[in-house]
């Protein structure tokens, strides 16, 4: 559920009037996303998404995200494209919040991705990595290995209220990952949150990628690790190596992996699992009574982490380079 901000008629008319998008025909709040308020806008020219950025997004990061979308769209990637205002600005203000208008991307996310969807995702992610080269913006990954311990410290002793022993288990994993986190892998723009709900399909064809509000500069292979976790586990917690192979095959058909990237996959998968375990744990412990949003289960990612701890080499997943 994600409409946090009410917009008055006058504010909306003034805002839309600042863009060369034709006559406003409809404006409906969308019940999706948890970070921002999103509205589907029809004009007599086209459909658009109007996003109001709520508190969780750092306004200083917005130019990075919006310019990146413009850069990627110029390169031919299918993603929401920011519409410049008549003044040439990608970022405006509406109802006291930073706001942007982007093109509407047709397509639907797949609730239960199949193997062919994973292959398409791999290809699109590699294209994103290649298309991001040459983008001049830089944003450090706020949730990279250096950000995990501060997040864990904020959860503190309350971690064990979710599952006894969880705090100690996370602490050990942090020690392991911090000691020898890969630092020499190829880096560039990564999406960093390519979960199924951010990948649109029309039938079996991938129609575009959305929601770049975690995008940053980090190791390409870390983006792959995030996706292996998000797309290649079954509901019962089992790793589906067929899906993982399809994802990697799709990816490497566009951008081959270096041997260092390939070798780093088990560790990157552990790190990616810990990152989502930690943010979900933090959200779980922070959610106020009676909140509108149900937090996601952190323990789903503990299971994934434990699976990756049993894996020494990428070959041990059953993956081929």
CB of 207 to a copy of itself, least distance (A): 9
Q: Closer to a copy of itself at the Cβ: 8 or 313?
A: 8
Answer yes or no: are the C-beta atoms of 264 and 228 closer than 8 Å.
Answer: no
| Alpha-carbon 227 to chain mean position | 9
Instruction: Report helix, strand or coil for 4.
Output: coil
CA distances from 300 to 4, 114, 237, 316 (A): 28, 19, 8, 22
Q: Closer to a copy of itself at the Cβ: 58 or 205?
A: 205
9-37 exposure pattern, b = at least 16 Cβ within 10 A, e = fewer: eeebeebbeebebeebeebebeeebebbb
| Alpha-carbon 99 to chain mean position | 19
Question: Of these, 70, 107, 122, 167, which contacts a copy of itself (CB under 8 A)?
Answer: 107
CB of 53 to a copy of itself, least distance (A): 17
Binding-site residue total for a copy of itself (CB under 8 A)? 30
CB of 94 to a copy of itself, least distance (A): 15
Polymer length of the chain: 321
Question: Of these, 5, 18, 27, 35, which contacts a copy of itself (CB under 8 A)?
Answer: 27
Q: Closer to a copy of itself at the Cβ: 32 or 312?
A: 32
Question: Of these, 3, 89, 95, 187, which contacts a copy of itself (CB under 8 A)?
Answer: 3
CA gap 191, 220 in Å, rounded: 9
Q: Which stretch binds a copy of itself (CB under 8 A): 19-27, 63-71, 152-160, 232-240?
A: 19-27
CA distances from 316 to 23, 28, 150, 249, 319 (A): 57, 48, 32, 17, 7
x-marked contacts with a copy of itself along 35-54 as a string, rule CB under 8 A: -----x-x----x-------
φ/ψ of residue 28, rounded to 5:
-130, 130
Question: Of these, 46, 133, 142, 202, which contacts a copy of itself (CB under 8 A)?
Answer: 202
Tokens for 1, please give them. Answer: 């559920």
DSSP H helical segments within 144-186, as ranges? 145-155, 159-162, 166-179
Tokens for 300, please give them. Answer: 């789903």
Q: Does 95 bind a copy of itself (CB under 8 A)?
A: no
Question: Of these, 18, 30, 255, 258, which contacts a copy of itself (CB under 8 A)?
Answer: 30
For residue 74, the number of C-alpha atoms closer than 13 Å in the C-beta half-sphere is: 12
Q: Closer to a copy of itself at the Cβ: 5 or 67?
A: 5
Q: Does 103 bind a copy of itself (CB under 8 A)?
A: no
Q: Which stretch binds a copy of itself (CB under 8 A): 29-37, 146-154, 219-227, 311-319?
A: 29-37
Q: Which stretch binds a copy of itself (CB under 8 A): 22-30, 146-154, 234-242, 247-255?
A: 22-30
In 3D, which of 129, 141, 237, 139 has the Cα closest to residue 183?
Answer: 141
Q: Closer to a copy of itself at the Cβ: 105 or 254?
A: 105
Instruction: Report helix, strand or coil for 38.
Output: strand
Site for a copy of itself in 239-298 (CB under 8 A): 289-290, 292
119-139 exposure pattern, b = at least 16 Cβ within 10 A, e = fewer: bbbbbbbbbbbbbbeebebeb
Question: Of these, 14, 17, 20, 25, which contacts a copy of itself (CB under 8 A)?
Answer: 25
- Partners of 217 in the β-ladder: 140, 189
Q: Closer to a copy of itself at the Cβ: 150 or 203?
A: 203
| Residues within the interface to a copy of itself (CB under 8 A) | 1-3, 8-9, 12, 23-32, 40, 42, 47, 104, 106-108, 110-112, 202, 289-290, 292
């Amino acid at each position: 559920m994600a409409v946090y901000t009410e917009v008055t008629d006058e504010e909306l008319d003034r805002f839309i009037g600042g863009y060369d998008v034709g006559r406003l025909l409809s404006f409906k709040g969308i019940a999706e996303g948890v970070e921002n308020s999103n509205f589907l806008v029809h004009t007599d020219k086209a459909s658009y998404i109007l996003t109001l950025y709520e508190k969780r997004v750092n306004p200083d990061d917005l130019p990075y995200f919006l310019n990146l979308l413009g850069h990627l769209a110029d390169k031919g990637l299918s993603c929401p494209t920011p519409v410049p205002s008549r003044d040439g600005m990608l970022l405006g203000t509406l109802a006291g919040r930073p706001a942007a208008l982007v093109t509407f991307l047709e397509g639907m996310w797949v609730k239960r991705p199949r193997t062919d969807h994973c292959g398409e995702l791999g290809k699109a992610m590699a294209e994103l990595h290649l298309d991001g080269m040459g983008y001049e913006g830089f944003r450090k990954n706020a949730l990279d290995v250096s950000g995990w311990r501060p997040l864990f410290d904020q959860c503190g002793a309350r971690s064990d209220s979710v599952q006894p022993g969880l705090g100690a288990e996370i602490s050990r994993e942090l020690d392991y990952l911090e000691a020898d986190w890969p630092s020499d892998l190829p880096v560039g723009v990564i999406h960093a949150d390519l979960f199924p709900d951010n990948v649109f399909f029309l039938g079996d064809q991938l129609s575009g990628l959305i929601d770049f509000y975690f995008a940053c500069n980090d190791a390409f292979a870390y983006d792959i690790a995030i996706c292996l976790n998000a797309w290649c586990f079954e509901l019962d917690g089992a790793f589906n190596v067929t899906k993982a192979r399809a994802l990697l095959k799709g990816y490497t058909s566009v951008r081959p992996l270096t041997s260092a990237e390939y070798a780093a996959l088990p560790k990157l998968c552990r790190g990616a699992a810990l990152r989502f375990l930690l943010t979900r744990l933090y959200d779980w412990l922070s959610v106020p009574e009676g909140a509108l949003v149900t937090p996601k289960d952190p323990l789903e990612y503990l299971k994934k982490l434990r699976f990756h701890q049993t894996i020494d080499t990428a070959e041990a997943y059953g993956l081929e380079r």
